Amino acid sequence: MLNKPVAVMDGIWQMRLPLPFELDHVNVYLVELRDGYMLVDCGLGTEESYGELTAQLGEIGVPVSAIREIFLTHTHPDHVGLAKRLLDETGAGLHMHAAELDQLTRIARSADKPLWLDEVLHRAGVPADLIERIEGSFDRIRRNFVELIPHRVLTGEETIEMRSGVLELVLTPGHSPGHLCLYDRGTRTLLSGDHVLQWITPNIGWLPERDALGEFYESLDRIAVYEAERILPGHGKIFSDLKGYVTKTKGHHDARCAQIVEALRGQAKTAHALVSDLWARPLAPFHHRFAVFEVLAHLEYLWRRGEIRREGDGGWDLWIAS
């Protein structure tokens, strides 16, 4: 066992599971229900992650079979990976937002690679050889996306009864299209998934035709009204300064928007070219893909608000300040 489970409060435990990335772990949470337990997020679909989860459950004294419900804050691989295996083993009910189900199903059905991804990267100006390397770097991740059949498809209006209180769902799209947080008003505890993280800014999950950054800003405002005193994030340590996080994160994206508009003043550029303006160090293919998507989220946001214009050129999208 790499980590010991942490009893956060009465009826909620945090379990830290390993990730083979720069981001070295993901936190999943065990919540005691009136009958059995609910697992909030599942960890990556690896043997190491499964071994760690079962060892920590053993340490808490809860057999895997006692998991009755699995709740997904969102369907990124580090949160959904083990879901299929755990569902098969436990027969638990699965809960996720409709937009997450759509996204997961679309990726799972596109077997080898999502066809739209090539097109998006090409339009963003990424050279063909780099697109190939980006796809290669995702091969290992793709097996985490398998079709799942939820027992309850959520809208974000629901509540979940725990043994010691009630969790309210809070719809917080932006990082992913149907991201959900869980809030216990009684103890002012927020299970924040990847929407609120203390030490990193969650990346914006841009998707074609979606104003992901605009949605993320709205989700920051939505979460800021909660008087949370204890934030249980999907990565990193438990912390309390929700308002500080919201201010800092909005400031980060405001600054990035300003930087992009500045870089596009009088000079049309692709999203790919903007990556080197914004990131000083060269990025590995895996990270370059996230950087391009991050830039696309900001471009989409600025374009919808009339701050930049799009110009097509030889199959690429070029952007320029209005």
Site residues for Zn ion per CB under 5 A = 76, 78, 194, 234
Using the minimum distance from each CB to Zn ion, give the nearer residue, 23 or 258.
23
Q: How far is the CB of 39 from Zn ion (least distance, A)?
A: 15
C-alpha closest to that of 133 among 283, 278, 20: 283
Nearest to Zn ion of 203, 270 (CB atom): 203
Q: Rounded to an integer, what distance in angstroms lies between the CA atom of residue 84 and that of residue 48?
A: 16
Question: Among all residues, whose Cβ is closest to Zn ion?
Answer: 76
Least distance from Zn ion to the Cβ atom of residue 216, Å: 12
Choice between 16 and 272, CB closer to Zn ion: 16
Smallest separation (angstroms) from Zn ion to the CB of 76: 3
Evaluate whether 272 touches 231 at the Cβ level (below 8 Å): no
Q: Report how far residue 261's alpha carbon sits from residue 308's, in angstroms, rounded to the nearest whole number.
A: 7
320 forms beta bridges with: 309
The label of the residue with tokens 């097509």 reads 312
Helix (H, G, I), strand (E, B) or coil at 30: strand
- For residues 32 and 194, which CB has a smaller minimum distance to Zn ion in the complex? 194
Give, in order, the Cα–Cα distances in Å from 49 to each of 28, 86, 318: 11, 12, 42
SS (H, E, C) 286-321: HHHHHHHHHHHHHHHHHHHCCCEEEEEECCEEEEEE
Burial profile 73-88: b = 16 or more Cβ within 10 angstroms, e = fewer: bbbbbbbbbbbbbbbe
CA dihedral 3, 60, 240, 188 (to 10 degrees): 160
Closest approach of Zn ion to the CB of residue 132, in Å: 25
Cβ-based nearer residue to Zn ion, 194 or 294: 194
The DSSP element (H or E) to which 161 belongs, if any, is strand 159-162
For Zn ion, which is the closer residue by CB, 78 or 184? 78
Least separation, in Å, of the C-beta of 22 and Zn ion? 12
Nearer to Zn ion, 125 or 202 (CB): 202
Please, what is the minimum distance in Å from the beta carbon of residue 169 to Zn ion? 17
Cβ at position 73, least distance to Zn ion in Å: 8
Cβ neighbors of 185 (< 8 A, separation 6 or more) are 165, 166, 168
